[in-house]
Amino acid sequence: MLYLKVYGAEYWRKLMGIMTNSVTFDKATIANSYHAVKNFFATSATGLLGVDINNHSVKVIELDRDRRAGVYQVTRFGYASVSQAGMSDNPVESVQNIAAAVSEAVSLSGSKLKHAAAAVFGNSVINKVVDVPSGLNDDELEMFLSINSDKYIPFPLNEVAMDFQKLNLPSAFKGREKILLTACRRDAIDKQVEAINLANLSVEVIDVAPFAAERALRDCAQNFNVENESLRLIVDVGDNYIVCNLIDSEGALFVWEEAIKCSSIQQDVSGLDEPSETDPIFESSLIQCRDKIKNSSREMFMQALTVALKRTIQMASSSTNCEIKNLVLIGDVIPTVNEVTIIGDHLDVKVNLGNPFQNMAFGPSLNASHLALRASSFTTACGLALRGLI
């Protein structure tokens, strides 16, 4: 089963365990495929470079264990932007641009590690809570899901990798229980591996981004609402989406991706006329105009983000029958401290900015203050790097 608990090397029993190239669901074939995938996704005993790739950037981080202090230590980190063509429809061009960004980030970090942990993300990953017959063991569940995969996954079985985790949630149907089913397109995995290999790294572990973030933030419970400090909704905020992961002390309960829908901002925001190039104060007026547009865009984005968060909280609550009081925001596009307060007041939840480095030390050669400002955006990369240490 998909072992999503946040306890050391048992965090995953495997990432995704059913891969078949045949429409006949022979149990021996499935078992052999499972063992091959399990071996590929096994945690390495050596250090791993966490490589977080999304549509706009690549972040890499190297961690070590400070045995004297009993904490993890950040030793190297790097960041690079992916060109606009990085996620283009041309597969070759896309992989090459991602590989270039990975190479740049690794070079800036100064890391010498050659083994990496990466994560799949976005619409290439499907997470669903589904009802299955009660009392099935893991092998029987794998068989059941493979035979019924067309009910849950809109892709042919031979194009995906699947795994599952049993949930401690009641089912509305007699004789059924709930599981969290995770499936990923194999081409998304292949794309990540190819790009990282082109950057002269070998991929030892493939994870799922929300679960890597969960691992990185597992020691931050002291920031949460004391009424239920173990239950928290971790939200990765991008420029036009959020990816949400509801977890408690037993593991993942709800995973969801939600679009952030913002209306476009016009150049004449709030009646401000665009200045003429013949205007003697053209340059300063244009700066004021652009600042106005930027501020209005930000305000509109925050409103849309709050709406998306509210809808996600409602969905998570109705799906799990849990009252959600703790919200943790991570990612590249996170609110300011003042905006966090406004969101918390509007949603009536405790909102924190995720900080994976809260209980970590920093290497003497690092600019700790610079990294601390970007802490939230390195959450997934940090969770990936931990795969080589736990």
- How many C-beta atoms lie closer than 10 Å to residue 159's C-beta? 14
Q: Which residue has the higher pLDDT, 257 or 222?
A: 257
CA distance 94 to 129: 32
Secondary structure of residue 14 in the 3-state scheme: coil
Domain boundaries, the chain: 8-220+355-388, 256-353
DSSP conformation letters of 32-61: HHHHHHHHHTPPPSS--EEEEE-SSEEEEE
Distances (CA, A) of 304 to 184, 226, 290, 309, 350: 28, 29, 21, 9, 19
Q: Give tens-digit pLDDT for 266-317.
A: 333 344 344 444 444 444 554 555 555 556 788 888 989 999 999 999 988 8
pLDDT at 150 over 60: yes
Residue 94: predicted pLDDT: 85
Across 197-211, 223-237, 284-298, the highest mean pLDDT is recorded for 197-211
The CATH class for the domain spanning 8-220+355-388 reads alpha beta
